[in-house]
Amino acid sequence: MTKKNDNFIMLPTVDVCFKGLMYNPKVRKGFIAALLGTDPAAVRETVLLPTALRQEYPDEKLGILDVRALMEDGAQINMEMQAYPFGQWDARSLFYLSKMYTEQIGRGDPYTKLKKCIHVSILDFIRFADDEKCHRIISLCDEQTGKKYTDLLEMQILELKKLPEELQSDDEVIRWMR
């Protein structure tokens, strides 16, 4: 007979727990607002989208996202929880972001139909060992001038293992990471 542990708490770094949290509209809106640096009231509506990326050919690579949300303005956000180091995480993240972006238009559609896509990697391991920064926003920019090329593609990387020791923080993303 096994002993029941009434004190068991599933950590949000477990895929099923993370998805359960993000499927709650209030939680999802609050987290997205923190990521976007806006007031939660400004995130009026998010709609969950299918998590399987479109596969046009049988031999095409399949991608299944953790949580994919559509914003009221047409922007899409993919939130991925990764608990263990994965050697090809960078390539996989770019694949997910690129597929999300290109799925927005079809033959004959104008490029103006393309909306912003954001990929959020929530990592329970250290990806960038050379600094202490736990939240970074990555976009396409000119390497010489630093000038942003476009705001249509963005990656946010949250490294949970780098959370600062102090319990209090004014940074909403850090508060959500705790």
Please write the tens of the pLDDT for every residue from 94-133. 999 999 999 999 999 999 999 999 999 999 999 999 999 9
Q: How confident is the prediction for the chain on average, in pLDDT?
A: 90
Mean of the pLDDT values across residues 146-160? Answer: 97
- Residue 65 backbone phi and psi in degrees, to 5: -85, 155
According to the model, what pLDDT value does residue 170 have?
82
How far from the centroid of its chain's Cα atoms is residue 36's Cα? 11
According to the model, what pLDDT value does residue 176 have?
86
Hey, what are 63's tokens?
Answer: 């991608």
pLDDT at 30 over 80: yes
pLDDT at 2 over 60: no
154 near 32, Cβ under 8 Å? no
pTM of the model: 0.89
Mean of the pLDDT values across residues 129-152? Answer: 96
pLDDT at 51 over 60: yes
According to the model, what pLDDT value does residue 9 have?
64
According to the model, what pLDDT value does residue 49 have?
92
- Residue 108 CA to residue 100 CA, distance in Å, equals 18
According to the model, what pLDDT value does residue 4 have?
61
| 10 band by pLDDT with thresholds 50, 70 and 90 | low
- Residue 161 CA to residue 103 CA, distance in Å, equals 33
